[in-house]
Structure 1
Amino acid sequence: MTAIPFYQIDAFASQPFEGNQACVMPLDGFLPDGTLQAIAAENNVAETAFIVAKKPGHYALRWFTPAVEVPLCGHATLASAHAIYTHLGFDGEEIAFETVQSGVLKVRRLSDETYEMDFPAPKVEKIAVTEDVAAALGAWPLEAWGGPFYAAVFGTPEDIEELKPDISLLKTLGVSGIGGNWERGNFGCVAPGGADGADLTSRFFAPGSGIDEDPATGSWHCMVAAIMGPRLKRPLDCYQAYPGRGAKIGIELIGDRVKLRGDAVTVIEGKFTL
């Protein structure tokens, strides 16, 4: 039997029960894909991150939901950096994560113990709002954008908080656009303003990735930065309004890159036995 170190971390959270859950599991080498997917399904949190050390401060990284491997995951990258700094003894200036589809992602721990991630800014384009999407969301957006996901822009934070989408309908929807098909069944919703001085409030529904609603989504906030950053032209404090949890995510669009900032806290430490 093999025992794999296991850390469950609340990412984009300053205390337990906030943000989004991620499991981080350091490996000597990646296990077969079917085994990685089975472990993620067993963990049954939004993402399980598997990391393999290449050299000090440099890791290979893959992310799995309980259902699929994903090309980019912000909160599990933050959780991985937190595990490396907090539990694996790294004290360097920056961690580099080598990924399959998103290139090299860099994370550093700031002087206030929060983390800053450097991600690629996605290409986005404005698209028409359609009746099928409005019906699935249960509300008509002011704008719609395409990119890695379908983005719906609303007028107020209350619009976002009151959304009660038809998840089964959302899962079937998707449109053709930049680089081929945007991921079917993955919808972000955002509006200006929010509680405690937030610049933006959002939610993210991801039945296409096996998650009805995600509590804190870094990859979605890269798209938020690409859409809203050029309008406001400054760092933005975002609140992802998942019912019962909530997450604070700092974003800043700098050229073709996005800075994502947030906290993380470990809630479980142990071993996963195969």
Structure 2
Amino acid sequence: MPVYPFYQVDAFATRAFEGNQACVMPMEAFLADDELLKIAAENNVAETAYLVPQAEGVWALRWFTPAVEVPLCGHATLASAHVLFEAGGYAGDVIHFDTVQSGRLSVRRLADGRLEMDFPSAPIRPVPVTDDIVAALGARPLEAWGGMFYAARFDSPETVKSLTPDVKALKTLGAEGEGWDRGNFGCFALGGEGVDATSRFFAPGSGIDEDPATGSWHTMLSRILATHFGLPEATCQQAYPGRGARIDVRLEGDRVKLTGRAVTVIEGQFRL
């Protein structure tokens, strides 16, 4: 019976029950895709990250939701680096991850214990706010952009927090980004409780009605905030009901730095 190390981590969190859940499973080699997807469905959290060592300080990394493999995932990358630093005994300051669709990603351990991720930040473009999207979201955005996802700006953090979208309708709508299907919506407003922007992320197109803390979404949000609102550095709050997370972002050309913390909540073995 094959046995694999298993870690469940709350990412973009300072304690248990905050941020977003990710499972991290180091392996000597990737299993077949259908096996990886079955494991992710069994874990039944937003993403399961699989790690395979490549060289000193370098791991191959793939991410699966319970429904699909995704081209980029921030919180599960943060969780993976956290596991390698804390449980894997990696003594260096920087971990490199080689990914299938997002190239090389790096995570640096800062002096204060936070982890800083270096991610790509894809271009954005204005897109229309259509009546079917308004109906599915249950409120009318002020404006919207396409890129990796459909990004909708609302008038206030209170409007964002009160959204109750029709996720079944959202699944077939929105912007079709590079490597992503429709049905992935970032909804945000400027301001909030001590932050520059407040957002939520609905992802029925990736098999998740709402994601609690989404690093990939913040690579897009960072570009919007820098390009259109003069905020190349920003503190953001993802306002998932009952959990939520704060994510610091800094846009640097075509890259973005995402900073946060993580905590391990479960450690054990996965038996196939």
TM-score when normalising by structure 2? 0.97
**Among candidates 202, 207, 215, match of residue 204 of structure 2:** 207
Deviations 1:114-141 (A, max 9, x none): 1000000111001111101010000000
Aligned partner of residue 213 in structure 2, secondary structure? coil
> Conserved in 1, the CA contact under 8 Å of 2:20 and 2:46?
yes
Task: Give, in angstroms, the shift of residue 182 of structure 1.
Answer: 5.6
Deviations 1:160-202 (A, max 9, x none): 10101001100111345x65x862111000111111x111100
After TM superposition, the structure 1 = structure 2 runs for residues 97-246 of structure 1, keeping only pairs within 5 Å, are 97-175=97-175, 183-195=181-193, 197-230=194-227, 231-246=229-244
> Conserved in 1, the CA contact under 8 Å of 2:71 and 2:180?
no
Task: Give, in angstroms, the shift of residue 232 of structure 1.
Answer: 2.2
Structure 1 CA distance for aligned equivalents of residues 95 and 11 of structure 2: 17
User: How has the CA–CA distance of structure 1 residues 11 and 175 changed in structure 2, closer, same or farther, with 3 Å as cutoff?
Assistant: closer
Structure 2 CA distance for aligned equivalents of residues 205 and 247 of structure 1: 15
> Conserved in 2, the CA contact under 8 Å of 1:160 and 1:189?
yes
> Conserved in 1, the CA contact under 8 Å of 2:50 and 2:61?
yes
Instruction: Identify the residue that residue 263 of structure 1 maps to in structure 2.
Output: 261
Aligned partner of residue 79 in structure 1, secondary structure? helix
Identity across aligned pairs (percent)? 63
Instruction: Identify the residue that residue 5 of structure 1 maps to in structure 2.
Output: 5
Instruction: Identify the residue that residue 75 of structure 2 maps to in structure 1.
Output: 75
Instruction: Identify the residue that residue 45 of structure 1 maps to in structure 2.
Output: 45
Runs of 4 or more off by more than 6 Å in structure 1?
A: none
Instruction: Identify the residue that residue 272 of structure 1 maps to in structure 2.
Output: 270
Instruction: Identify the residue that residue 254 of structure 1 maps to in structure 2.
Output: 252
- Give RMSD over aligned pairs: 1.1
Structure 1 CA distance for aligned equivalents of residues 163 and 196 of structure 2: 19
Residue correspondences, number: 271
Task: Give, in angstroms, the shift of residue 244 of structure 1.
Answer: 0.4
After TM superposition, the structure 1 = structure 2 runs for residues 20-39 of structure 1, keeping only pairs within 5 Å, are 20-39=20-39
Equivalent AA in structure 1 for residue 224 of structure 2: I
Equivalent AA in structure 2 for residue 141 of structure 1: P
Structure 1 CA distance for aligned equivalents of residues 3 and 231 of structure 2: 48
Mean Cα displacement is larger for which, 44-53 or 166-175? Answer: 166-175
> Conserved in 2, the CA contact under 8 Å of 1:59 and 1:96?
yes
Aligned partner of residue 31 in structure 1, secondary structure? coil
Structure 1 CA distance for aligned equivalents of residues 214 and 57 of structure 2: 24
> Conserved in 1, the CA contact under 8 Å of 2:154 and 2:189?
yes
